Structure formats: structure tokens, C-alpha cells
Amino acid sequence: MANVPWVSGLTIGQVLRETARRNARQDAVVFPQLDVRLNWQDFDALVDRAAKGLLALGFEPGDHFGVWATNWPEWLVLQFATARTGVVLVTINPAYRTSELQFALQQSEIRGLALIQRFKTSNYYQMLLDVCPELVSATAGHLCSDSLPNLEWVIQFHGAEHPGMLTWARLLKAGESVSDGELQSCERLLAASAPIALQYTSGTTGHPKGALLTHSNLLLNGYYTGDCQRLSAADRICIPVPLYHCFGCVLGTVCAVVYGAAMVFPGESYNPVATLRAIEAERCTAIYGVPTMFIAELESPEFPRRDTSSLRTGIMAGSPCPIELMKRVTADLGARDITIGYGQTEASPIITMTRTDDPIEARVGSVGRVIPGVEVKIVDPETGAELPDNQSGELCCRGHNVMLGYYNMPDRTAEAIDADGWLHTGDIALRQPDGYYRITGRQKDMIIRGGENISPREIEELLYQLPQIEDVQIVGVPDRKFGEEILACVKLRSGQTVSETEIRKFCHERLAHYKTPRYVKFVDQFPTTVTGKIQKFRLREQAIEELGLSEVASLVTA
């Protein structure tokens, strides 16, 4: 690997400019279902138009701009337009319900927001009105909201124009008043070390935390993860993962821009059939996904009818990867050089990764080696002492991938990053003598379902609002499809009743769909320590036995 990546010291906007110069006429962006196909030169020009639009509206470096949408071309354009102008992109989960949206918008102090009108049963416009009713009587750019005092501009990607909002076309039109020289002057002021992304991640504290990431954080992660896959401008990456997640907007888009590889988006949300068709039609050479996605593709009735022979590599990440699944992906799907990545949003996101030339045993049985420029140590969670090979402890990392911190959360930042710059991941791992790592557990009280981090505390605090419930404990139980599913262990107040259906409905109406418990168990008491602390691991063990999940729990992962 190169000692000094070519992207070092550059901003994301500069890297896009150079890649567009080198590969002007090659495919950059493909949305097959929308019949959208842009080469690098045209994509770079469209990013310029949107960047000028932001400047015309008065956005300045350091301002925060949120995007609340599924995978659309406008999302992608805004990612690089904000980077080109130094505006911090706030990625908002499209599965959020009203209360989650309100928290993210308030905590991030956004000045602008772009959104789609609806997706499936979610009406984004109506949810925004619930949070910001002043929008109805506002004129574009002159919003005065009690709950969102920083918010001035709301951009809608599609549909008829709503009061107080600007259409995508009008944003681009506004940019015509800004010269090339003005945009270049703005770009010259930007530093690679400056924050450019604010990505929310669930932890153990109820509300999500916003990880503040820099140009360098993202570009170096994109460079090294692409190098691990041996990517070049000849590659075509199928990206069915969501753009709001670091898997999509770092390992997907930033990585592609660093190497000039084409970005192929099968649809606005994940669909295994659309993914398989896109791989075949666009002759994709790389495929990304969490284990759940690969399972869905391999088990799809469409799979035997699709030609996936163009595949060579890709990344499986987001949650533990079953070894048997890795073998099927390399043999049946044809991604013989598939890699496994391990990390978290706070690490931009990759910490360790396998390489295409690793022995098959290492690629299916570990999460690889540390990426260059990053240090990793395994420490005793109790004492902080560094542990030798083959001993499990908390994995900590330090280097170019570590976030600046959690936005406006200094106490949480101090808990995550110690005085010596080590990021404490909360994951339990061991280092093998050959330098490869295996994840063996989690210190944090967190559930990972299909690649989504879920805070048990957030669900518990919501369910405490039900008057019938005296106490509730949320735990993760193993699941073949999603890796983990949510179990709600509920203790009712004396003489009270509430059904499983009512509990699920209560959650579904107030939280993103993936946070709704699949299982509900009513208990009279909880297992505790001698000091009275509830033992969640006992609840999990009991549930595995009662739900018949022992076989799933025994699946070997990396």
C-alpha cells in the first residue's frame, strides 16, 4: 500500500474535482430504476450547480444542512455540494418518526433541511409540519420556528411546491447568480481537518449521538477500504445500502470518488430483486451489504435467473458475518474476493478489514487486520491494561479515523475518547498471533439488528410511558436473518393488563420500524445480582431457550 495516499491533505470537493478530470467520460452515477446515468464530468458540474445554490441562499462553511431522504440522486449531489462549500452534512435516518426527527433537528442545530415528500407509509412533509408548524405560513428562507430556531431553509426534492419550501429546481436556479470565482474562493478557505459530516449513531444513552467527522476522516477511510478491495476506475460498485448510513455515504460514495469507480444504486431502499438485476444489467464488480442483504439475495427466487459473474469483490459489514454465509457469497454469488469490514460511525467507520489476497480462512473467520495509519489495542475493561494475543478485551483504536467528538456532547465525547486519543469502541475482541482480529462480544448494552444500532434504553424509556407497565427490560436475542431481534421483557403493575399487540403498536407509532420489539415476554420478576442490578444476559439466555433459538445462537461469526 502507498505510504502517502493521494487524498491526504485534500478536501472531498477537491478529490471529486480531480477524479472528474481523470475520468471525465466514465460512468460516475447510475440509478437504473430512474434511468439516471451521469459521467464524472457531468456529475461534478451538477455538484457545482448545487454548491452555488447553497452559496446563493447564504450558507457558509460550518453551517449545518440536513438530508432526510431515501437513496435519490439529489441526496448524492447534496453530499458533495455541502462538502465543496464546507457546509456540514447532517445525515438523518429516513425511518425516523416525529419525536426522533425533532431530536435530531434540534440537537444538530441545522440551518437547512432537504427532504422527500413520502416513502411507503411515511409522510415526511406532514412529520416535519408536526415538528415545525410555522412552515405553513412561512416564505422560503424566512422560517421562524420556536422549536427549531436555527432552521431557515427547507428544500424539497420532488413534488408540488409547499409553503415555506424551495424546490430542487429553484435551488439550482438560485445558483446561477454565483460565479465560478466565488465558488472557488469558498473552496480555497476549506481545510481537510475541518468537520464536514454529522452522523447520528445509537448507543446506550437513549438518544442518538452525532459523530462529527472531517474531510480527512472520510477520505482516508475511503482510500484504505478501496485499497483493501483493489478498486480502480474500472470497477462498478453496487450500493444497495442506505446513503444516510456511513456504509453508504463513506464506504460507498466517498470510496468510489477516491478511485473513480462507478456508483450503482439499485433503488431508493433495499430490494434484493432490484439489487440482483442491477448487478447483472450494470455488470457490477463490487457489492456492498450487511449479512441480512446477502441472505435475501441468495434466497431470492430471482437469484438462479441472474448473472452475477461480473462480481469480484465488495464489503460485508454492519453486523457479525456468519462464516457459512461468507462461503456462499464467495462461491454462489461469485464475489470471490469479498471483504469483511469492522468499525463504527465514530471511526469513520472502518477500523479493521480483510484484504482480497487474504487466505480464505482469514476472510471468512475474522474481521481482518488494522487499516494503515490506525493503531488498535485490546484492553481489560476493568483495569485498562493492555492484553496479549488470544485474550478478549475491549477494542480501542487511535488514528486518522477517530471522530472529532460528539456534537455538543462533551461529557459523552470524554467517555468515548480518552486523554491519549484512544476511541473506546465498547466491543469485545481478541487479536490472533497473526494480527487478525475477531469480535467476541459487546461491552455496551446495545442491539445490532440488520446493521442498525439500537439503544435498549430508548425503547425502555418509551414503554415506561405506558401506565400499565411497572418495569421493562429490552434485550437482543439471536436471529438468523437480522443477526439480532428485539425482546421486550415486561413487568406489569398489579391488576393491569396490556397485550403484546398493544405494546408493539405503541412502539411502531413512535419509533423507527426496526426498533419495534419482535418478541414480548411478560414476567413477574427479573433476575438480579445480590446488589439488585438486573442481569440482562440472564434474560437473553432464558429467551434463547424458551424461543428455541439455541441453534441460531451457536452460529459461528467473525
**pLDDT on residue 160:** 84
CA distance 503 to 501: 5
Q: With contact defined as beta carbons under 8 Å apart, do 119 and 125 qualify? A: no
The answer to whether the CB of 463 falls within 8 A of the CB of 455 is no
Helix 180-188 × helix 40-56 angle, to 10° = 90
Tell me how far apart the alpha carbons of residues 86 and 389 are, in angstroms, rounded to a whole number: 43
Which three three-digit cell numbers place residue 191? Answer: 481545510
Confidence at residue 273, expressed as pLDDT on a 0 to 100 scale: 98
Q: Which amino acid is at 280?
A: E
DSSP 205: S
SS3 content of the chain, % helix, strand, coil (to 5): 35, 25, 40
Amino acid at 368: G
- Cα–Cα distances (Å) from 430 to 291, 384, 395, 440, 542, in that order, read 22, 15, 8, 7, 27
Q: Which of 228, 242, 304, 243 is nearest to 273 (CA)?
A: 304
- The reply to whether CATH 3.40.50.980 applies to domain 11-22+35-190 is yes
Question: pTM for the complete prediction?
Answer: 0.88
Q: What is the pLDDT along the chain (558 residues), one digit of tens a residue?
A: 447 999 999 999 999 999 999 999 999 999 999 999 999 999 999 999 999 999 999 999 999 999 999 999 999 999 999 999 999 999 999 999 999 999 999 999 999 999 999 999 899 999 999 999 999 999 999 999 999 999 999 999 998 889 999 999 999 999 999 999 999 999 999 999 999 999 998 754 567 899 999 999 999 999 999 999 999 999 999 999 999 999 999 999 999 999 999 999 999 999 999 999 999 999 999 999 988 899 899 999 999 999 999 999 999 998 778 788 888 999 999 999 999 999 999 999 999 999 999 988 888 789 999 999 999 999 998 899 999 999 999 999 999 999 999 999 999 999 999 999 999 999 989 999 999 999 887 766 789 899 898 888 889 889 989 999 988 999 999 999 999 999 999 999 889 999 999 999 999 999 999 999 999 999 998 887 555 667 888 898 899 999 999 988 887 676
DSSP code, position 511:
S
pLDDT value of residue 207 = 79
Say which DSSP state 134 is in.
G
Instruction: Record the cell numbers describing residue 558, joined without a space.
Output: 467473525
Which three three-digit cell numbers place residue 503? Answer: 405494546
pLDDT of res. 206: 61
Contact 153, 57 (CB under 8 A): yes
Q: How far is CA 227 from CA 79, 172, 223, 267, 350, in A?
A: 22, 35, 6, 26, 13
How far is it, in rounded angstroms, from Cα 75 to Cα 158?
12
How many residues comprise the chain? 558
> How far apart, in whole angstroms, are the C-alpha atoms of residue 408 and residue 64?
13
Which CATH number does the domain 447-553 belong to among 3.30.70.980, 2.50.20.10, 3.30.70.520, 3.30.300.30? Answer: 3.30.300.30
10 Å Cβ neighbour count for 527?
16
pLDDT at 2: 47
Domain boundaries, the chain: 11-22+35-190, 339-442, 447-553
Q: How many CB atoms lie within 10 A of CB 140?
A: 21
CA dihedral 505, 507, 511, 513 (to 10 degrees): -60
Between CA 370 and CA 375 the distance in angstroms is 7
Which amino acid would we find at residue 82? T
DSSP string, 435-497: S-EEEEEESSS-EEETTEEE-HHHHHHHHTTSTTEEEEEEEEEEETTTEEEEEEEEEEPTT--
Residue 408 neighbours by CB distance under 10 Å: 13
Under CATH, to which class is 339-442 assigned?
Answer: mainly beta
SS3 sequence of 36-47: EEEEHHHHHHHH
Tell me the torsion sign for CA atoms 319, 324, 325, 326: positive
The answer to whether domain 11-22+35-190 and domain 447-553 are alike in fold is no
Residue 371: DSSP 8-state: P
